[in-house]
Amino acid sequence: MSAREQDAVLQSQVAIAGVGGEGFNLALLLARSGVQRFRIADPEVFEAENVNRVPGARTTTLQKNKAEVLRHDILDINPSALVEVWPDGIGRDSADDFVEGASLTFDGIDLFRPDLSVALYRAARRHTIPAMTSMNIGRSAVVTSFKATGGTTFEKLIGISDNLPLDQIKPESIPLSRTVPYLPSYENVSVLQRVASGQMPLPSLAVGVGLATALAAEQALRHLTHYEFKQPVWARRFAYVDIGDTAVRAGTLWFPRASHYRRLLTAVLRSVVGAAHQPGGYGDMP
């Protein structure tokens, strides 16, 4: 990184809504990369189930607010950092205050609260701030960014109107093909069915979260350093990495919904072939 790029990072501010797996890890990587100003929001406390993927989830931090723990860890890396904590999270009416003055905002909000994500992206557009998000699925990860002005909006990506009222945005009305662009072909199909029906969240692994964080941090630094020759991957496209298949896969998804269905079909076929070789036939296949 050039001196100019390093200075740009030092002068930047990143607003992260949701500091579970990706959000928490991303903040730590950016703090180690020179970002000194953060605004972080999360209303949840750490539970034992978070220990498998979040470095902030430790026996000493269980039942403590995630954003407060992250603030402590950032300051442990850089005592000069300025970390503003929103321990109650963001709401539909507070997203503008949360993103104001930021160089970049990151959406780490749970898939089951798309109304809050939409509020965040709309606030980012009003303040002409780029926004990004990432996701881990198994041993794979994806990331994409949304332009401050123009380009594909988050609403278009998930298949709703840019002007749809927030109280009409329901998780059950957004198909999984809109929110999960890449599916590992080794994913358990019955698990995906339960995720699609809202019975359970996407399962996560520390490896997948690490991949998602690395991808997100690289893309974030492209934003913060204003690369002229290395643009972030903009929606509708997604950057992806999958290290859990027979061969390591990486690249850019140009047609995310088509990718979802194609890889879902591959996962189904693999499950059927595998189950056909097991006593009793199809096992837990639907």
Query: Any idea what the CATH number is for the domain that residue 122 is in?
Result: 3.40.50.720
Domain membership flag for residue 187: no
Model pLDDT, residue 59: 94
Q: Tell me: the pLDDT tens digits for 219-237? A: 999 999 987 668 999 999 9
Vertex 236, ends 179 and 26: CA angle to 5°? 65
| The model's pTM | 0.88
Model pLDDT, residue 193: 72
Domain membership flag for residue 159: yes
For residue 284, what is the DSSP state?
A: T
Model pLDDT, residue 154: 95
What confidence category does residue 274 fall into, taking pLDDT thresholds of 50, 70 and 90? low
159 token code pair:
């298949």
What is the total count of domains within the chain? 1
Domain membership flag for residue 16: yes
Residue 210 in this model has a pLDDT that exceeds 90:
yes
Q: Tell me: the pLDDT tens digits for 106-118? A: 999 988 899 999 9
Among residues of the chain, what percentage have pLDDT more than 90? 65
Domain membership flag for residue 161: yes
Model pLDDT, residue 270: 67
Q: What is the DSSP string of the chain?
A: --HHHHHHHHT-EEEEE--SHHHHHHHHHHHHTT--EEEEE---B--GGGGGT-TT--TTTTTSBHHHHHHHHHHHH-TT-EEEEETT---TTTHHHHHTT-SEEEE---TT-HHHHHHHHHHHHHTT--EEEEEEETTEEEEEEE-SSSS--HHHHHT--TT--GGG--GGGS-HHHH-----TTS-HHHHHHHHTTSSPPP--HHHHHHHHHHHHHHHHHHHTT-SSSPPPBTT-EEEEE-SSSS-EEEEESSHHHHHHHHHHHHHHHHHHHHHTSTTSSTT--
| Structural domain range at position 153 | 3-180+202-243
Model pLDDT, residue 7: 94
Model pLDDT, residue 168: 93
Residue 102 in this model has a pLDDT that exceeds 70:
yes
Residue 39 in this model has a pLDDT that exceeds 80:
yes
Domain membership flag for residue 271: no
Model pLDDT, residue 71: 97
Model pLDDT, residue 268: 67
Domain membership flag for residue 28: yes
Helix spans in 127-205 (H) = 154-158, 176-179, 189-196
Model pLDDT, residue 195: 74
Higher pLDDT, 259 or 18: 18
Q: Which of 44-48, 134-138, 198-202, 270-274 has the lowest mean pLDDT?
A: 270-274
Domain membership flag for residue 176: yes
Residue 105's closest CA among 84, 85, 123, 82?
123
